[in-house]
Chain A
Amino acid sequence: MKNLTTSVRIALRALKVNRTRSALTMLGIIIGVAAVIAMVGVGAGATERIQEQIQSIGSNLIIVLPGSISSNGVRLGSGGVATLTQDDAVALAAECPSVALAAPTVRGGVQVVYGNNNWATVAQGVTPDYMTLRDYTMLSGQFFTTQDVDAAAKSAVLGETVARNLFGDSSPTGQVVVIKNVPFTVAGVLTPKGQSPTGQDQDDVILLPISTATQKVLGANKANAKAVGSVMVQAISPQAMDLAIQETEALLRERHRILPGLEDDFTIRNLTEVFAAQETSAQVMAVLLGAIASVSLVVGGIGIMNIMLVSVTERTREIGLRLAVGAKRQNILSQFLVEAVTLSVVGGIIGIVVGVTASVVISRLAQWSTDISVLSVVASFLFSALVGVFFGYYPARKAALLNPIGALRYE
Chain B
Amino acid sequence: MADIIAIQDLVKDFQLGEVPVHVLKGVTFRIERGEFVAIMGPSGSGKSTLMNILGCLDTPTSGSYSLDGISVGALESDELAEIRSKKIGFVFQQFNLLARTSATENVELPLMYTDTPARVRRERALKALQAVGLSGREDHQPSQLSGGQQQRVAIARSLVNDPTIILADEPTGALDSRIGLEIMAIFQRLNRDGITLVVVTHDPDIASYATRLLHFKDGRLQKDERIAHPRDAQQEVDQLAAEPAEAVAPS
Contact = CB atoms under 8 A, between A and B. Distances in A.
A377 B99 CA distance: 37
A329 B81 CA distance: 9
Interface in A314-351: 317-318, 320-331
A405 interface: yes
B225 interface: no
A321 to B, nearest CB: 5
Interface stretch (B83-91, B184-192, B208-216, B232-240): B83-91
A222 interface: no
A326 B96 contact: no
Contacts of B120: none
B113 A331 contact: yes
B75 interface: no
Contacts of B112: 6, 9-10, 327
Nearest to B101: A17
Given A17-B100, A405-B57, A326 B105 contact: no
A404 interface: yes
Contact of A325 (B90, B100, B115): B90
Contact of A328 (B81, B99, B161): B81
A256 interface: no
B68 interface: no
28 contacts: A2-B115, A6-B112, A9-B112, A13-B105, A17-B99, A17-B100, A317-B96, A320-B96, A322-B109, A322-B113, A324-B55, A324-B57, A324-B84, A324-B90, A325-B85, A325-B90, A325-B110, A325-B113, A326-B81, A326-B85, A326-B86, A326-B110, A327-B81, A327-B112, A328-B81, A328-B113, A329-B78, A330-B78
B15 to A, nearest CB: 14
B65 interface: no
Interface of B: 52, 55, 57-58, 77-78, 81-82, 84-86, 90, 92, 94, 96, 98-101, 105, 109-110, 112-115, 157, 161
Given A325-B90, A326-B161, A13 B101 contact: yes
A81 B90 CA distance: 103
A326 B77 contact: no
A94 B173 CA distance: 105
Q: Which 7 A-B pairs have the closest CB atoms?
A: A326-B85, A325-B110, A17-B100, A326-B113, A328-B81, A321-B96, A326-B84
Contacts of A17: 98-101
Interface centre among A6, A13, A328 (most CB of B within 10 A): A328
A322 B52 CA distance: 15
Contacts of B78: 328-330
B101 to A, nearest CB: 6
A346 to B, nearest CB: 19
Contact of A405 (B52, B101, B110, B114): B52
B108 to A, nearest CB: 10
A408 interface: yes
A322 B110 CA distance: 8
Given A13-B101, A318-B98, A325 B92 contact: no
B59 to A, nearest CB: 11
Contacts of B115: 2
Contact of B77 (A317, A329, A405): A329
A279 B178 CA distance: 83
Interface string A1-42: 010001001100100010000000000000000000000000
A326 B58 CA distance: 14
B183 to A, nearest CB: 19
A337 to B, nearest CB: 16
A317 B52 CA distance: 16
A408 B81 CA distance: 15
Nearest to B110: A325
A17 B81 CA distance: 26
A327 B57 CA distance: 12
Contacts of B92: 321, 408
Contacts of B55: 324
Nearest to A17: B100
B85 A405 contact: no
Contacts of A405: 52, 57-58
Contacts of A324: 55, 57, 84, 90
Interface string A219-243: 0000000000000000000000000
A29 B153 CA distance: 38
Interface centre among A9, A324, A330, A405 (most CB of B within 10 A): A324
Interface string A307-318: 000000000011
A45 B88 CA distance: 64
Contacts of A327: 81, 85, 112-113
Nearest to B98: A318
A326 B57 contact: no
Contacts of B84: 323-326
Given A321-B96, A324-B84, A327-B81, 7 more contacts: A9-B112, A13-B101, A323-B81, A325-B113, A325-B161, A326-B161, A328-B82
Nearest to B118: A9
Contacts of B98: 17, 318, 321
Contacts of B114: 326
Interface string A45-72: 0000000000000000000000000000
Contacts of A13: 101, 105
A318 B97 CA distance: 8
A380 to B, nearest CB: 33
A399 to B, nearest CB: 14
Contacts of B100: 17
Contact of B96 (A6, A329, A330, A408): A408
Nearest to A324: B90
Contacts of A10: 112
Contacts of A323: 57, 81, 84
Contact of B57 (A9, A329, A404): A404
A272 to B, nearest CB: 64
